[in-house]
């Protein structure tokens, strides 16, 4: 009987409103770091419980203790300062890392959080990092002579963290590279930097990238030196499958079936159809079913409902096709 169609998520979960309030209170100096940490741990336990109840196979810690996906890491490194807010759209702002010296990892960034999350469940919890190319592309660079030099130093630092996660027991390490798809001319640099970041990492390695100009970067994307590439499939109405027909997708795939930008809860049938379309050209043992991207922009309830639909759809497909987890 074939195995496959394991279920997981891309990384972030929505922060519950009380935690958002607490983060704001902490920023204003109204509560202590210890109190915020306590609330983050409670919320992380809740996210683990929730994933278990929904029936996911591979869990995440939900990243409830993180803000921006680059700034979180930069704040914990030598060589970075954090800028004043920069606008991303409308009234949304974020603080960008500024490389002002050689960037170095001096202490673990996520290992304690991973250990804490893993201690709450018998299911595997993924280690979640941001990749060197994305960290470079989303930072200001006041120190390095080139984008490449910054990316490669970041790769060294991220590799140290990835190895530390594996030493702590992580079986899956995901190194996200959402920026890869927007500068196709730098794909070779991204491949080299990510390659260094996961070199010698004895775990299943994954990278998540967001939808970009696939006409240009596919099939070269398959050169990314990881076991699994996680892609937004639903958001592009599964049209990537046409490209996979022209050039076989040779790696494992994180197969996104939930639109994380929409409040609408998908129906079980549409998720099922998306998976069945994938099975026309992909093997079940290649496929890990998940949302298109992190769920942090949804409400807690929306995230739960979407994931419950996803798991129900996977179970039906498994049953109909005789696939086991």
In angstroms, give the least distance from the CB of 323 to another protein.
34
Using the rule CB under 8 A, which residue among 2, 3, 30, 85 binds another protein? 85
Written as six digits, the tokens of 124 are 């595997």
Quote the CA–CA distance of 290 and 58 in Å, as a whole number.
10
In angstroms, give the least distance from the CB of 83 to another protein.
5
| 220 lines the binding site for another protein (CB under 8 A) | no
Phi-psi region at 293: left, alpha or beta (left = phi > 0; alpha = psi -120 to 50)? beta
In angstroms, give the least distance from the CB of 234 to another protein.
13
Using the rule CB under 8 A, which residue among 32, 88, 146, 299 binds another protein? 88
Quote the CA–CA distance of 280 and 321 in Å, as a whole number.
12
Residues 229-288 that bind another protein (CB under 8 A): 261
Binding piece for another protein, criterion CB under 8 A, among 47-55, 58-66, 78-86, 190-198: 78-86
Residue number, 42 or 142, with CB nearest to another protein: 142
Using the rule CB under 8 A, which residue among 65, 138, 172, 249 binds another protein? 138
Q: Please, what is the end-to-end C-alpha distance for the chain in angstroms?
A: 10
Binding piece for another protein, criterion CB under 8 A, among 132-140, 156-164, 223-231, 276-284: 132-140
In angstroms, give the least distance from the CB of 65 to another protein.
21
> Within 10 A of 278 (CB to CB), how many other CB atoms are there?
25
For 274, phi then psi, to 5°, come to -60, -45
Please tell me whether the peptide bond between 219 and the residue prior to it is cis, using omega within 30 degrees of 0. yes
Q: Give me Rg for the CA atoms of the chain.
A: 19
Using the rule CB under 8 A, which residue among 31, 36, 45, 98 binds another protein? 98
Using the rule CB under 8 A, which residue among 142, 167, 242, 301 binds another protein? 142
Residue number, 138 or 218, with CB nearest to another protein: 138
For the chain, helix, strand, coil in percent to 5 are 45, 20, 35
Residues 290-319 that bind another protein (CB under 8 A): none
| 83 lines the binding site for another protein (CB under 8 A) | yes
Q: Which residues of 299-325 are buried (b: 16+ CB within 10 A; e: fewer)?
A: ebebbbebbbbbbebbbbbbeeeebee
For the chain, strand residue ranges (E) read: 6-7, 77-89, 92-105, 127-130, 140-141, 172-176, 204-209, 228-231, 252-256, 287-290
Quote the CA–CA distance of 166 and 3 in Å, as a whole number.
25
Using the rule CB under 8 A, which residue among 28, 29, 84, 280 binds another protein? 84
Written as six digits, the tokens of 314 are 């996977």
Using the rule CB under 8 A, which residue among 87, 122, 200, 319 binds another protein? 87
| 89 lines the binding site for another protein (CB under 8 A) | yes
| 179 lines the binding site for another protein (CB under 8 A) | yes
| 24 lines the binding site for another protein (CB under 8 A) | no
Binding piece for another protein, criterion CB under 8 A, among 13-21, 41-49, 83-91, 267-275: 83-91
| 140 lines the binding site for another protein (CB under 8 A) | yes
Using the rule CB under 8 A, which residue among 21, 76, 115, 183 binds another protein? 183
Residues 6 or more apart in contact with residue 117 via CB below 8 angstroms: 44, 48, 59, 60, 61, 62, 125
Quote the CA–CA distance of 186 and 179 in Å, as a whole number.
10
DSSP strand pairing (287-290 vs 92-105): unpaired
Give residues in contact with another protein (CB under 8 A): 83-93, 96, 98, 137-138, 140-142, 179, 182-183, 210, 261
């Amino acid at each position: 009987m074939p195995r496959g169609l394991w279920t997981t998520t891309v990384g972030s979960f929505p922060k519950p409103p009380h935690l958002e309030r607490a983060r704001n209170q902490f920023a204003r100096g109204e509560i202590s770091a210890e109190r915020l940490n306590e609330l983050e741990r409670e919320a992380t336990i809740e996210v683990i419980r929730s994933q278990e109840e929904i029936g996911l196979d591979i869990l995440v810690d939900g990243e409830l203790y993180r803000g921006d996906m680059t700034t979180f890491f930069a704040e914990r490194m030598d060589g970075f300062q954090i800028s004043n807010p920069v606008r991303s759209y409308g009234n949304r702002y974020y603080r960008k890392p500024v490389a002002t010296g050689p960037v170095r990892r001096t202490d673990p960034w996520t290992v304690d959080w991973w250990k804490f999350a893993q201690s709450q469940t018998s299911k595997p919890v993924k280690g979640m990092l941001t990749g060197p190319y994305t960290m470079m592309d989303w930072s200001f660079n006041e120190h390095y002579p080139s984008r490449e030099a910054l990316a490669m130093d970041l790769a060294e630092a991220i590799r140290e963290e990835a190895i530390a996660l594996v030493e702590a027991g992580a079986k899956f390490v995901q190194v996200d590279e959402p920026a890869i798809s927007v500068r196709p001319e730098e794909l070779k640099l991204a491949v080299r930097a990510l390659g260094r970041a996961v070199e010698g990492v004895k775990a299943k390695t994954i990278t998540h990238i967001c939808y970009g100009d696939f006409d240009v970067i596919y099939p070269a994307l398959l050169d990314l030196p990881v076991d699994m590439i996680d892609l937004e499939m639903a958001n592009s109405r599964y049209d990537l499958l046409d490209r996979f027909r022209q050039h076989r997708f040779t790696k494992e795939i994180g197969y996104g079936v939930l639109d994380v930008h929409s409040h609408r809860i998908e129906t079980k049938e549409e998720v099922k159809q998306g998976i069945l379309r994938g099975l026309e050209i992909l093997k079940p043992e290649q496929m890990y079913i998940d949302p298109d991207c992190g769920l942090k922009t949804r409400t807690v309830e929306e995230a739960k409902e979407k994931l419950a639909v996803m798991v129900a759809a996977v179970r039906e497909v498994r049953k109909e096709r005789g696939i086991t987890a």
